[in-house]
Amino acid sequence: MSSSFAILYSTYLKRIYSTCLMILKNHHLAEEAVQESFMRAYNNMHELKDPAKFEAWIVSIATNCAIDLYKTNQKCIPIADNEVLDYFINQCTPSTNEPLEQLEKLEVSKEIHLAITKLTPPADQILSLKYYWDLKDKEIAEILQIPAGTVKSSLYRAKRTLSRVLPGINKDYLKLTQGAK
Protein backbone atom coordinates (compact mmCIF):
# COMPACT_ATOMS: atom_id res chain seq x y z
CA MET A 1 0.00 0.00 0.00
CA SER A 2 1.39 3.40 -0.91
CA SER A 3 2.13 5.83 1.90
CA SER A 4 -0.37 8.39 0.57
CA PHE A 5 -3.15 5.79 0.52
CA ALA A 6 -2.13 4.68 4.03
CA ILE A 7 -2.70 8.27 5.17
CA LEU A 8 -6.13 8.32 3.51
CA TYR A 9 -6.92 4.98 5.13
CA SER A 10 -6.04 6.17 8.63
CA THR A 11 -7.87 9.46 8.08
CA TYR A 12 -11.18 7.90 7.00
CA LEU A 13 -11.18 4.49 8.69
CA LYS A 14 -13.30 5.36 11.74
CA ARG A 15 -15.87 7.33 9.78
CA ILE A 16 -16.18 4.66 7.09
CA TYR A 17 -16.57 2.02 9.79
CA SER A 18 -19.27 4.12 11.48
CA THR A 19 -21.17 4.45 8.22
CA CYS A 20 -20.99 0.71 7.55
CA LEU A 21 -21.98 -0.11 11.13
CA MET A 22 -24.98 2.23 10.91
CA ILE A 23 -26.19 0.38 7.81
CA LEU A 24 -25.32 -3.19 8.82
CA LYS A 25 -25.72 -3.04 12.62
CA ASN A 26 -23.18 -5.86 12.85
CA HIS A 27 -19.50 -5.34 13.75
CA HIS A 28 -18.19 -8.25 11.69
CA LEU A 29 -20.11 -7.29 8.57
CA ALA A 30 -19.12 -3.64 9.03
CA GLU A 31 -15.45 -4.65 9.21
CA GLU A 32 -15.89 -6.73 6.06
CA ALA A 33 -17.54 -3.79 4.27
CA VAL A 34 -14.73 -1.46 5.35
CA GLN A 35 -12.08 -3.86 4.09
CA GLU A 36 -13.87 -4.30 0.76
CA SER A 37 -14.40 -0.53 0.45
CA PHE A 38 -10.75 0.34 0.87
CA MET A 39 -9.67 -2.48 -1.44
CA ARG A 40 -12.02 -1.19 -4.15
CA ALA A 41 -10.81 2.37 -3.60
CA TYR A 42 -7.16 1.32 -3.77
CA ASN A 43 -7.68 -0.76 -6.90
CA ASN A 44 -9.67 1.97 -8.63
CA MET A 45 -7.78 5.12 -7.60
CA HIS A 46 -7.08 5.75 -11.28
CA GLU A 47 -10.83 6.34 -11.78
CA LEU A 48 -10.94 9.20 -9.27
CA LYS A 49 -10.75 12.28 -11.45
CA ASP A 50 -10.72 14.91 -8.69
CA PRO A 51 -8.67 14.01 -5.57
CA ALA A 52 -10.57 16.67 -3.61
CA LYS A 53 -13.64 14.44 -3.91
CA PHE A 54 -11.99 11.40 -2.31
CA GLU A 55 -14.17 11.64 0.79
CA ALA A 56 -17.46 11.55 -1.14
CA TRP A 57 -16.05 8.81 -3.37
CA ILE A 58 -14.98 6.52 -0.51
CA VAL A 59 -18.30 7.13 1.30
CA SER A 60 -20.12 6.10 -1.86
CA ILE A 61 -18.03 2.95 -2.20
CA ALA A 62 -18.49 2.07 1.49
CA THR A 63 -22.22 2.69 1.43
CA ASN A 64 -22.62 0.50 -1.64
CA CYS A 65 -20.47 -2.26 -0.11
CA ALA A 66 -22.50 -2.13 3.11
CA ILE A 67 -25.81 -2.19 1.23
CA ASP A 68 -24.62 -5.17 -0.84
CA LEU A 69 -23.60 -7.03 2.33
CA TYR A 70 -26.89 -6.11 3.98
CA LYS A 71 -28.85 -7.55 1.05
CA THR A 72 -26.87 -10.80 1.05
CA ASN A 73 -26.99 -11.19 4.85
CA GLN A 74 -30.53 -10.09 5.71
CA LYS A 75 -31.06 -13.21 7.79
CA CYS A 76 -28.02 -12.39 9.93
CA ILE A 77 -28.90 -11.55 13.54
CA PRO A 78 -27.74 -8.00 14.29
CA ILE A 79 -25.62 -7.23 17.32
CA ALA A 80 -27.27 -5.71 20.35
CA ASP A 81 -28.24 -2.08 19.91
CA ASN A 82 -26.15 -1.24 22.97
CA GLU A 83 -22.96 -2.23 21.14
CA VAL A 84 -23.83 0.02 18.22
CA LEU A 85 -24.76 2.80 20.63
CA ASP A 86 -21.55 2.49 22.59
CA TYR A 87 -19.50 2.85 19.43
CA PHE A 88 -21.41 5.89 18.18
CA ILE A 89 -21.43 7.54 21.59
CA ASN A 90 -17.66 7.16 21.86
CA GLN A 91 -17.23 8.66 18.38
CA CYS A 92 -19.83 11.42 18.45
CA THR A 93 -20.28 12.72 21.99
CA PRO A 94 -19.25 16.38 22.21
CA SER A 95 -16.43 16.86 24.70
CA THR A 96 -16.64 19.19 27.69
CA ASN A 97 -14.72 19.64 30.93
CA GLU A 98 -17.80 19.97 33.17
CA PRO A 99 -18.75 16.54 34.60
CA LEU A 100 -22.50 17.28 34.88
CA GLU A 101 -22.64 18.74 31.39
CA GLN A 102 -20.68 15.76 30.10
CA LEU A 103 -23.11 13.33 31.72
CA GLU A 104 -26.12 15.19 30.31
CA LYS A 105 -24.64 15.20 26.80
CA LEU A 106 -23.84 11.50 27.08
CA GLU A 107 -27.42 10.67 28.09
CA VAL A 108 -28.91 12.78 25.30
CA SER A 109 -26.49 11.23 22.79
CA LYS A 110 -27.57 7.76 23.89
CA GLU A 111 -31.23 8.64 23.37
CA ILE A 112 -30.59 10.16 19.95
CA HIS A 113 -28.44 7.31 18.69
CA LEU A 114 -30.83 4.67 20.02
CA ALA A 115 -33.68 6.39 18.19
CA ILE A 116 -31.63 6.57 14.97
CA THR A 117 -30.73 2.87 15.13
CA LYS A 118 -34.45 2.08 15.34
CA LEU A 119 -35.15 3.82 12.02
CA THR A 120 -35.43 1.65 8.93
CA PRO A 121 -33.32 2.00 5.79
CA PRO A 122 -32.88 4.32 4.02
CA ALA A 123 -33.84 6.81 6.78
CA ASP A 124 -31.02 5.71 9.11
CA GLN A 125 -28.53 5.82 6.26
CA ILE A 126 -29.71 9.24 5.12
CA LEU A 127 -29.43 10.66 8.65
CA SER A 128 -25.96 9.19 9.01
CA LEU A 129 -24.78 10.63 5.69
CA LYS A 130 -26.45 14.00 6.32
CA TYR A 131 -25.40 14.67 9.91
CA TYR A 132 -22.37 12.47 10.48
CA TRP A 133 -20.74 13.11 7.10
CA ASP A 134 -22.29 16.57 6.48
CA LEU A 135 -23.22 15.63 2.92
CA LYS A 136 -25.68 17.56 0.79
CA ASP A 137 -28.97 15.97 -0.28
CA LYS A 138 -27.72 15.67 -3.87
CA GLU A 139 -24.57 13.82 -2.74
CA ILE A 140 -26.65 11.46 -0.59
CA ALA A 141 -28.93 10.78 -3.56
CA GLU A 142 -25.93 9.90 -5.72
CA ILE A 143 -24.42 7.63 -3.07
CA LEU A 144 -27.66 5.75 -2.35
CA GLN A 145 -28.72 5.87 -6.00
CA ILE A 146 -32.13 7.31 -5.19
CA PRO A 147 -33.83 10.53 -6.32
CA ALA A 148 -32.98 13.71 -4.40
CA GLY A 149 -36.68 14.13 -3.63
CA THR A 150 -36.65 10.76 -1.88
CA VAL A 151 -33.71 11.92 0.22
CA LYS A 152 -35.57 15.09 1.23
CA SER A 153 -38.82 13.30 2.05
CA SER A 154 -37.05 10.51 3.95
CA LEU A 155 -35.04 13.09 5.89
CA TYR A 156 -38.22 15.01 6.73
CA ARG A 157 -40.02 11.85 7.91
CA ALA A 158 -36.99 10.69 9.91
CA LYS A 159 -36.70 14.06 11.67
CA ARG A 160 -40.44 14.03 12.38
CA THR A 161 -40.16 10.50 13.80
CA LEU A 162 -37.20 11.50 15.96
CA SER A 163 -39.02 14.56 17.27
CA ARG A 164 -41.95 12.32 18.28
CA VAL A 165 -39.81 9.69 20.02
CA LEU A 166 -37.49 12.29 21.57
CA PRO A 167 -39.95 15.00 22.69
CA GLY A 168 -37.96 16.03 25.77
CA ILE A 169 -34.74 16.81 23.93
CA ASN A 170 -33.96 20.44 23.28
CA LYS A 171 -34.15 21.02 19.50
CA ASP A 172 -30.95 23.12 19.46
CA TYR A 173 -29.05 20.34 21.22
CA LEU A 174 -30.45 17.77 18.79
CA LYS A 175 -29.08 19.79 15.85
CA LEU A 176 -25.70 20.24 17.60
CA THR A 177 -25.32 16.57 18.48
CA GLN A 178 -26.39 15.26 15.08
CA GLY A 179 -23.85 17.54 13.42
CA ALA A 180 -21.03 16.51 15.79
CA LYS A 181 -18.13 14.55 14.40
Instruction: Centre a 10 Å sphere on the Cβ of residue 10 and count the other Cβ atoms it contains.
Output: 9
What pLDDT band is residue 105 in, cutting at 50, 70 and 90? low
Angle between helices 137-144 and 148-165 (to 10 degrees): 110
Going from N- to C-terminal start, the domains of the chain cover: 3-72, 81-178
Question: Binning pLDDT at 50, 70 and 90, where does residue 141 land?
Answer: confident
**Are 133 and 62 within 8 A, CB to CB?**
no
- Please tell me the pTM assigned to this model: 0.55
Q: Using a pLDDT cut of 70, give the percent of the chain over it.
A: 72
97, 41 contact by CB (below 8 A): no
What would the DSSP string read from start to end of 81-119?
HHHHHHHHHHHHPPP-S-HHHHHHHHHHHHHHHHHHHHS
pLDDT at position 9, please? 93
How many residues in the chain? 181
C-alpha 130/C-alpha 125 separation (Å) is 8
**Mean confidence (pLDDT) of the chain:** 77
CATH label, 3-72, candidates 1.10.580.10, 3.30.750.24, 1.10.3470.10, 1.10.1740.10: 1.10.1740.10
Instruction: State the average pLDDT over residues 29-57.
Output: 92
pLDDT of residue 158: 83
Q: Is the pLDDT of residue 46 over 80?
A: yes
Give the integer Cα–Cα distance in Å for 111 and 124: 15
* CATH class entry, domain 81-178: mainly alpha
